[in-house]
Amino acid sequence: MNAFIKVLSLGFLILCCNLTIKAEPIKTISSSEKRIKIINLYELEKEAAEKLSIGALGYVKGGSEDEITLRDNTESFNRKNIIPNGLTGLNEVALKTKLFGIDLASPIILAPMAAHGLVHQEADKDTIKGTRKAGTIMSISTYSSVPIEKIAESAPNAPFFFQLYMSKDNNFNEYIIKKAKEAGAKAIILTVDSGVPGNREADIRNNYEYSVKTPNVTEFYAGKTVTQSEARAMRKLGFSAEDISYIKKISGLPVIVKGIESPEAAKIAIDARADGIWVSNHGGRQLDGAPSTFNMLPHIAKVVQKRVPIIFDSGVRRGSHVFKALANGADIVAIGRPALYGLALGGADGVYSVFQHLNKELETVMILAGTENVEAVKNNHLFDPNKP
């Protein structure tokens, strides 16, 4: 009998050990504040993954369905080459540029993202400190984890744009645009690619429920906690030229239409007097199988014909990607996930480190390609090995 109890206890002990080993250790949300050493942005993602819970990592890193578009976004940069040119007499290169009259240290800005509060306790407040230090623009999402005005207050004079997920309720649209404008937003980004969220299987697998606060939305509904599905149900499904005109009218700010993936959509936006076109497939998080933004960019640039600036995102992980996007028709390049990884690992200084790293890579490429400034990069001809 004694032996039987011993065997049972041993079995129970082994079971408990197994459970402990298999269960994910509880991870507290980062409060780290430091510059980070970055070898490259792919390794940065792996490092950040160690800090995030499985649910948070899946939400941030994941794309939709088979993640074909997610992968193609980065891989398609490899299909064109930058031709080295050392015979230019170049002595230095300049990365600085402007967008809507705002001085930028480089052509790289931050894309709007929800969930900064999922990866760092200071959330968007640290992000904007990081973008200000890097001399660039922060984009604040409708679903920022901190109210717009609190983000703005945490980094006085930092330029920022406000991204709007338009609601079916115009009272909400007017309320939030007014709030963003009063807080100092320099432009409105109207996202048109997310009437419904993409089918993100990582979130389903991980039973991930978006649990970060969305104070801009809850404040409007007088403190009532709005669930993820309620917030999504409020969003407009489809967009038209009238929506662009309406947002222009109520904001009186430049309006950039984000989520443009075709020449036809670019034409509609420009005809509706959009002030900027943001070429994006939402980082492969929406329609899987959509073309990579890098492949679509020249077709869109052909229609835009430099009438308004083109901002480009999705899959940018290298200075050479920034170079290629600019040479393929973009005026400005935005990054998403890498900045959240920088935030998770080092707070404001982590975000700053990410921008500095990309700027350094871009500078190296510019020197090796013999392009002295951003204008020269835009005029550079990439080599297409399939059409030699």
Distance CA 63, CA 59 (A): 8
- Name the closest residue to ligand FMN (Cβ): 336
Q: Is 386 helix (H, G, I), strand (E, B) or coil?
A: coil
Tokens of 378: 């835009």
Q: Which is nearer to ligand LXCWX6NK, 143 or 323 (CB)?
A: 143
Figure out which of the listed residues 77, 143, 239, 323 binds ligand LXCWX6NK, where binding follows CB under 6 A: 143
Instruction: Please enumerate in sequence order all residues whose Cβ is within 8 A of that of 131, keeping only pairs 6 or more positions apart, or say none.
Output: 109, 110, 137, 138, 155, 158, 160, 351, 352, 355
Cβ contact 186:100 at 8 Å: yes
195-254 binders of ligand FMN (CB under 6 A): none
By CB under 6 A, the residues from 231 to 260 that bind ligand LXCWX6NK are 231-232
C-alpha span between 81 and 213 (Å, rounded) = 43
Q: From CA 358, how far away is CA 244, in angstroms rounded?
A: 32
- Told to check if 321 binds ligand FMN by CB under 6 A, we report no
CA gap 156, 93 in Å, rounded: 30
In the complex, what is the shortest distance from the CB of residue 358 to ligand FMN, in angstroms, rounded to a whole number? Answer: 11
346 touches ligand FMN by CB under 6 A: no
Residue choice 51, 258, 285, 357 for contact with ligand LXCWX6NK (CB under 6 A): 285
172 binding ligand LXCWX6NK? (CB under 6 A): no
Residue 378 backbone dihedrals phi, psi, to 5 degrees: -65, -30
Scan residues 255-284 and list those touching ligand LXCWX6NK (CB under 6 A).
Answer: 282
Which residue of 172, 210, 246, 352 would you call a contact of ligand LXCWX6NK, by CB under 6 A? 210
CB-nearer residue toward ligand FMN: 104 or 115 = 115
Q: Burial, 100: exposed, middle or buried (Cβ in 10 Å; 0-12, 13-18, 19+)?
A: middle
3-class DSSP state of 339: helix
Q: How far is the CB of 337 from ligand LXCWX6NK (least distance, A)?
A: 10
Query: Who contacts 122 (Cβ-Cβ below 8 Å, separation ≥6)?
Result: 31, 347, 348
Interatomic CA distance for residues 212 and 207, integer angstroms:
15
CB of 378 to ligand FMN, least distance (A): 20
Residue 272 CB, nearest approach to ligand LXCWX6NK (Å):
22
Q: Which of ligand LXCWX6NK, ligand FMN, none interacts with 337 (beta carbon under 5 to 8 A by kind)?
A: ligand FMN
Check residue 194 for interaction with ligand LXCWX6NK (CB under 6 A).
Answer: yes
The region of 23-31, 45-53, 178-186, 226-234 touching ligand LXCWX6NK under the rule CB under 6 A is 226-234
Residues 120-179 that bind ligand FMN (CB under 6 A): 141, 143, 163
Cα separation of 102 and 109, whole Å?
11
272, 316, 327, 374: which one contacts ligand FMN (CB under 6 A)?
316
Element spanning 278, H or E: strand 276-279
Cβ atoms of residues 296 and 323 within 8 Å: no
> Is 282 in the active site?
yes
Q: Could you say whether residue 64 binds ligand LXCWX6NK (CB under 6 A)?
A: no
Regarding 114 and contact with ligand LXCWX6NK (CB under 6 A), the answer is: yes
Residues binding ligand LXCWX6NK (CB under 6 A): 114, 143, 194, 210, 214, 228, 231-232, 282, 285
* Positions marked active-site: 282
